[in-house]
Amino acid sequence: MLLKPVAMHIPDGFLSVPVAIFLWVVSIIFIAIALRRVNQTLGERQVPLMGVLAACIFAGQMLNFAVAGGTSGHLLGAALAVILLGPWASILVMTCVVGVQALLFQDGGLLALGGNIFNMAIVGTFVAYATYSLINKMAGGKKWGVFAGGAAAAWLSIFLTALAAAIELAASGTSPANVGVPAMGAVHALIGIGEALITVGALSVIYAARRDLLAPGESSSTTSSRTVLVGGLLMALALAVASPLASANPDGLEWVAEQQGFLDKAQPAPFQVISGYNFPGVGNVEVSTILAGIVGVLVVLFLVMAIAYSRRRKITNYELRITDKEATTRNS
């Protein structure tokens, strides 16, 4: 039986206004820093890679997988983004994914969007980055460090992101910490295993086919960048087409909210565009979900690539100014 993805992120009503505003402020600060740092580190190869990786993460997040206890999990993707792009580009990729999910698909609240960005784009990114970097350093650059580091980074990013959400719910008075933290931790410890397996699988394919992509910052030819763009886009579209196969079980947060009795605090979005990954005007649920996924993939792809190219142009202009200045100095 084909199903449709379930909503996955913190809705409005779960976070108090002061907590939501605080998380918005923190998220904006980190996004501003990420934009500045990406100016300094973004390589030509990473522009198409950023776009297709964001598209794949978006589509992958639509494919909830069942876990024990009648709940489900979904890909976070922060570990993959960190490994392939580094932490600052990862923040921008994850922010765009989460933002499009909230604004276009009403997946996660608008007031709570700062919290969702903080949890998935910032906490998830830096936890994955610290874990992967540490294990790779211990491995001394050996092959096992990539896979062990990727698995650990994926699992821990899911687990600590869930604990961050539980603490935010406790600070908001939604669920006591002594109840919410163990419940969220237990469910997401299982979901993290799925995240680790998906991440290791993706890294295995990349390691076999394009090992150079595991070295952020290195340049590659235009041809190989075009291959990354086309191949990654086809993969993202394939995941979108498979999205009706997603588990219909509630995700970890929704399951905990139902078990702990605060699910009714969720507030509906003030507007609807493609709400619940249901493409408007299409009666067939499976076709509707596929169309919604394809639209999401393309929107995320173009949004991230537009940001990446704008960052890259600034680097190029800056480098040209420096080159001109050095030439002028030599001629004088």
Q: Are strands 71-73 and 65-67 parallel, antiparallel or unpaired?
A: antiparallel
- Mean pLDDT confidence for 208-234: 72
- pLDDT grade, residue 126 (50/70/90)? very high
Residue 222 has pLDDT above 60, yes or no: no
C-alpha dihedral (237, 240, 242, 245), degrees to nearest 10:
170
Residue 214 pLDDT: 82
Q: Which two tokens stand for residue 319?
A: 């480098």
Domains of the chain: 17-331 (1.10.1760.20)
Residue 316 has pLDDT above 60, yes or no: no
Residue positions counted in the chain: 332
Residue 5 pLDDT: 47
Burial letters for 181-195: b for 16+ Cβ neighbours within 10 Å, e otherwise? bebbbebbebbbbbb
CA distance 78 to 131: 12
Residue 235 pLDDT: 92
Residue 43 has pLDDT above 80, yes or no: no
Residue 322 pLDDT: 47
Residue 320 pLDDT: 46
- pLDDT grade, residue 227 (50/70/90)? confident
DSSP letters along 99-111, please? HHHHHHH--S-ST
Residue 224 has pLDDT above 70, yes or no: no
User: Distances in Å between the alpha carbon of 315 and those of 43, 93, 247?
Assistant: 9, 19, 43
- pLDDT grade, residue 219 (50/70/90)? very low
**Identity of the amino acid at 300:** V
How much is the pTM? 0.88
**pLDDT tens digits, residue range 162-180?**
999 999 999 999 999 999 9
- pLDDT grade, residue 45 (50/70/90)? low
CA distance 39 to 318: 10
- Mean pLDDT confidence for 114-129: 97
CA distance 45 to 80: 16
- Mean pLDDT confidence for 243-256: 86
Residue 130: is it exposed, middle or buried by C-beta count within 10 angstroms (0-12/13-18/19+)? Answer: middle
| Averaged pLDDT of the chain | 87
Residue 291 pLDDT: 95
